[in-house]
C-alpha cells in the first residue's frame, strides 16, 4: 500500500562468545530491517554494565571518523537493538522519545533491557497490576510493560526461564522479545502463537549468535540462519553457552499473514520460502483468477515497490508487459501517513513521478499489496487517469481487510477500513477504479506454503487466534454495526473491561 501502515517494530540482538565488540553487528542487523520502523532506533550493549543510545528517526549512517566514538559509547560483547513505529502510547515527539526501545527497567537488585516487536492486547489489566508494584511507572510502550513484568518476576527470585514463562502465561498478544539481564545473559522469546517473526542464526565459525526479526538481519552480517524461534520458546545465550527451552506449549501457530504481503522484506525467509517467491506466486494467482480482465490489459504497473514481485509473477503468468511507468524520487523516503491528509496528494508527487507517454490510452492493471483505507490509492488512480490511462484495474495480493488488528498493525477500528464497509465493486467506485480484484483467501494461503491454522488471518476473516482479541473484536463490531462512534486505538480502552 502507498499509504504505509505503522508496523510493530524490528529487533536484533547478538552475543559474541569470544568477547569482541558487538555494536557493529547490532548496527547492521537494524539497518537491514529499518523498513519495519522509522520513528526511532535504540541500542543497548553490556560490558558488566548497560550502555545505551536512543534516538528518533532512522538508524543513522555512521561516518568513518565517528566509528570509534560509537564503539566507545557502546562497548561490550552482548547487545540488543530496536527500530520502532509506535502502535501503542502517544505519537507526539515527547511520547515518541519516551517510547524508544530497548527499554531498561531496574530495582536495587535487578536490571533488565528489552526490545519488543508486537502488541499487547490485555495491556490495561497488566498496567494496573504493574502499577501496584511500581506506582510511578509511566507507560509509553508495550515494551515497557513486558520489561516491568519481567523485572517483577525476576525480583521475586525467579530464574529467567520461570520469569519468561510467567510473561507468556499472563500476557495476551503478539510479542517477539529479546533482551539482556544484569548478568549479561542474552535472551529471545516468542508468544505462544508466534504471531511476529523472530529467527536465530550464527556466524560461520559460531563465535557470534544472533536473534533477528527477519532473516535479512542475519544475512547482512554474513550469518547462517539456524532456526525460527518456536512459539512459546526461550533462547538463552550466556557464558554457559547456548540453550533452547520450550516453556509453554504452542496451542496454535498464528504467524501474521500480512508479513507475506507487505511487511517483510522480499529477500527475507518466512517458513520455507523467500518472501519474494511467495509474492511472485500471489501475482501468478491473480493472473489465473482474473484472466478475463488480464486478457484485455495493455500493461502492469506495480505501486508501491512491495508489489514488484507480484507484478513479476503476474507478468510471467499472463505475458502482459510489466511497465516502469512510475519512477520513485530516490532520496525522498518519508512515508505518506506522516503528513496531514490534505498533504497526501503532494506527497505522492514528491515520492513518485508518473510517465504519461507510457500510459496514454492504455488499459492498466495496477498491482498493490493491500487496500486499507483506500484514500491514497484513490489519489494514485486520479493521477493515472490524468496522465492518460484509459482503464485502471486494481489487483490486490492481500485478501480484503475487513477487521482491525490487535497485534501491532495500525488498523485499530472497523470504521477506518474501507473493506469492512464495502464490497469490491463499491470500493472500485469509491476509489475511481474500473475494478478491484482481490486474491482469494485459499490461493493466498496456499502460496505462503503454510496451512490456514498456522497463520493469523484475523483482519481478513474476523477470527483471531487469541481469546481476548476475539472478544474485543466482537464487541467493537457490534458497536460499529449499530453506527456508534469508534475511537482510535479502541482496543487499548476496550481491554480495560475484562
With contact defined as beta carbons under 8 Å apart, do 79 and 13 qualify? yes
Q: What share of the chain is helix, strand, coil (3-state, %, to 5)?
A: 40, 25, 40
- C-alpha 246/C-alpha 229 separation (Å) is 10
DSSP string, 79-106: EEEEEE--SSS--SHHHHHHT-SSEEEE
Least distance from C-beta 79 to ligand SF4, angstroms? 28
Least distance from C-beta 220 to ligand SF4, angstroms? 25
- C-alpha 476/C-alpha 471 separation (Å) is 9
Quick one: 248 or 256, whose CB is closer to ligand SF4?
Answer: 256
Q: Does 171 interact with ligand SF4 (rule: CB under 6 A)? A: no
25 among known catalytic residues: no
Return the residue of 113, 396, 456, 490 that touches ligand SF4, per CB under 6 A: 456
Among residues 9, 25, 147, 199, which one is catalytic? 9
Quick one: 14 or 473, whose CB is closer to ligand SF4?
Answer: 473
With contact defined as beta carbons under 8 Å apart, do 369 and 306 qualify? yes
Torsion of the alpha carbons at 127, 131, 135 and 141, rounded to the nearest 10: -30
- C-alpha 178/C-alpha 210 separation (Å) is 10
Q: Does 258 interact with ligand SF4 (rule: CB under 6 A)? A: yes
Return the residue of 188, 405, 428, 476 that touches ligand SF4, per CB under 6 A: 405
Least distance from C-beta 196 to ligand SF4, angstroms? 8
Nearest CA among 232, 228, 300, 297 for reference residue 264: 228
Return the residue of 11, 457, 468, 476 that touches ligand SF4, per CB under 6 A: 457
Residues 217-256 that bind ligand SF4 (CB under 6 A): 256
State yes or no: cis peptide before 276, omega within 30 of 0. Answer: no
Least distance from C-beta 257 to ligand SF4, angstroms? 4
Enter the C-alpha cell of residue 29. 542487523
At 45, is the secondary structure helix, strand, or coil?
strand
Quick one: 380 or 457, whose CB is closer to ligand SF4?
Answer: 457
The window from 139-147, 287-295, 403-411, 426-434 that contacts ligand SF4 (CB under 6 A) reads 403-411
With contact defined as beta carbons under 8 Å apart, do 164 and 175 qualify? no
Q: How many residues bind ligand SF4 (CB under 6 A)?
A: 11
The window from 198-206, 217-225, 442-450, 456-464 that contacts ligand SF4 (CB under 6 A) reads 456-464
Q: Does 419 interact with ligand SF4 (rule: CB under 6 A)? A: no
Q: Does 80 interact with ligand SF4 (rule: CB under 6 A)? A: no
Least distance from C-beta 252 to ligand SF4, angstroms? 13
Distances (CA, A) of 21 to 31, 45, 70, 445: 17, 9, 11, 42
Q: Does 458 interact with ligand SF4 (rule: CB under 6 A)? A: yes
Least distance from C-beta 35 to ligand SF4, angstroms? 16
Please report which helix (H) or strand (E) contains residue 235, including its range.
Answer: strand 233-238
Quick one: 88 or 165, whose CB is closer to ligand SF4?
Answer: 88
- C-alpha 147/C-alpha 116 separation (Å) is 9
Q: Does 261 interact with ligand SF4 (rule: CB under 6 A)? A: no
Least distance from C-beta 84 to ligand SF4, angstroms? 17
Quick one: 312 or 398, whose CB is closer to ligand SF4?
Answer: 398
Residues 314-373 that bind ligand SF4 (CB under 6 A): none
The window from 19-27, 51-59, 105-113, 405-413 that contacts ligand SF4 (CB under 6 A) reads 405-413
The window from 68-76, 143-151, 402-410, 439-447 that contacts ligand SF4 (CB under 6 A) reads 402-410
| Greatest Cα pair distance in the chain | 72
Q: Does 175 interact with ligand SF4 (rule: CB under 6 A)? A: no
Q: What Rg do the C-alpha atoms of the chain give, in angstroms?
A: 23
Contacts of 150 (CB under 8 A, 6+ apart): 105, 112, 114, 163, 164, 167, 179
Quick one: 77 or 448, whose CB is closer to ligand SF4?
Answer: 448
- Per CB under 6 A, residues contacting ligand SF4 are 195, 256-258, 405, 407, 409, 456-459
Residues catalogued as catalytic: 9
Amino acid at each position: 500500500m502507498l499509504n504505509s501502515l505503522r508496523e510493530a517494530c524490528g529487533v536484533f540482538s547478538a552475543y559474541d562468545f569470544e568477547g569482541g565488540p558487538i555494536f557493529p553487528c547490532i548496527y547492521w542487523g537494524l539497518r537491514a530491517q529499518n523498513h519495519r520502523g522509522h520513528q526511532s532506533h535504540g541500542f543497548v550493549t553490556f560490558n558488566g554494565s548497560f550502555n545505551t543510545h536512543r534516538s528518533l528517526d532512522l538508524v543513522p549512517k555512521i561516518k568513518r571518523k565517528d566509528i570509534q566514538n560509537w564503539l566507545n559509547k557502546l562497548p561490550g560483547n552482548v547487545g540488543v537493538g530496536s527500530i520502532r513505529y509506535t502502535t501503542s502510547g502517544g505519537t507526539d515527539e515527547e511520547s515518541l522519545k519516551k517510547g524508544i526501545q530497548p527499554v531498561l527497567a531496574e530495582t536495587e537488585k535487578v536490571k533488565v533491557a528489552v526490545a519488543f516487536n508486537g502488541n499487547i492486547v490485555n495491556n490495561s489489566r497488566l498496567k494496573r497490576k504493574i502499577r501496584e508494584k511500581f506506582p510511578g511507572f509511566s507507560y509509553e510502550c508495550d515494551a515497557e510493560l513486558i520489561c516491568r513484568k519481567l523485572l517483577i518476576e525476576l525480583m521475586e527470585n525467579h530464574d529467567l526461564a520461570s520469569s519468561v514463562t510467567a510473561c507468556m502465561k499472563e500476557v495476551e498478544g503478539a510479542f517477539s522479545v529479546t533482551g539482556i539481564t544484569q548478568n549479561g545473559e542474552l535472551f529471545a522469546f516468542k508468544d505462544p502463537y508466534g504471531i511476529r517473526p523472530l529467527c536465530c542464526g550464527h556466524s560461520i565459525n559460531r563465535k557470534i549468535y544472533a536473534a533477528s526479526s527477519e532473516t535479512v538481519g542475519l544475512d547482512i552480517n554474513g550469518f547462517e540462519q539456524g532456526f525460527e524461534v518456536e512459539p512459546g520458546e526461550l533462547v538463552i545465550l550466556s557464558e554457559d553457552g547456548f540453550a533452547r527451552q520450550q516453556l509453554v506449549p504452542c496451542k496454535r501457530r498464528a504467524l501474521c499473514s500480512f508479513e507475506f504481503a507487505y511487511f517483510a522484506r522480499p529477500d527475507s525467509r518466512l517458513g520455507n520460502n523467500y518472501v519474494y517467491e511467495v509474492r511472485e506466486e500471489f501475482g501468478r494467482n491473480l493472473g489465473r483468477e482474473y484472466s478475463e480482465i488480464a486478457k484485455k490489459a495493455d500493461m502492469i504497473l506495480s505501486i508501491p515497490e512491495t508489489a514488484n514481485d507480484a507484478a513479476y509473477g503476474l507478468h510471467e503468468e499472463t505475458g502482459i508487459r510489466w511497465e516502469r511507468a512510475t519512477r520513485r524520487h530516490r532520496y525522498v523516503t518519508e512515508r505518506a501517513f506522516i503528513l496531514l491528509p490534505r498533504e497526501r496528494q503532494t506527497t505522492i508527487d514528491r515520492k513518485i513521478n508518473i510517465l504519461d507517454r507510457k500510459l496514454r490510452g492504455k488499459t492498466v492493471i495496477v498491482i498493490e499489496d493491500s487496500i486499507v483505507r483506500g484514500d491514497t490509492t484513490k489519489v494514485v488512480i486520479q493521477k493515472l487517469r490524468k496522465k492518460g490511462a484509459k482503464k485502471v484495474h486494481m489487483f490486490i495480493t492481500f485478501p480484503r481487510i475487513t477487521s482491525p488488528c490487535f497485534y501491532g498493525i495500525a488498523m485499530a477500528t472497523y470504521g477506518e477500513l474501507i473493506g469492512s464497509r464495502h464490497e469490491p465493486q463499491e470500493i472500485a467506485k469509491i476509489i475511481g477504479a474500473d475494478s478491484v480484484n482481490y486474491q482469494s483467501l485459499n490461493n493466498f494461503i496456499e502460496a505462503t506454503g503454510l496451512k490456514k491454522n498456522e497463520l493469523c488471518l484475523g483482519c481478513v476473516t474476523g477470527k483471531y487466534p487469541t481469546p481476548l482479541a476475539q472478544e474485543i473484536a466482537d464487541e467493537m463490531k457490534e458497536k460499529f454495526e449499530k453506527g456508534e462512534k469508534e475511537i482510535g486505538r479502541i482496543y487499548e480502552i476496550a481491554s480495560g473491561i475484562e
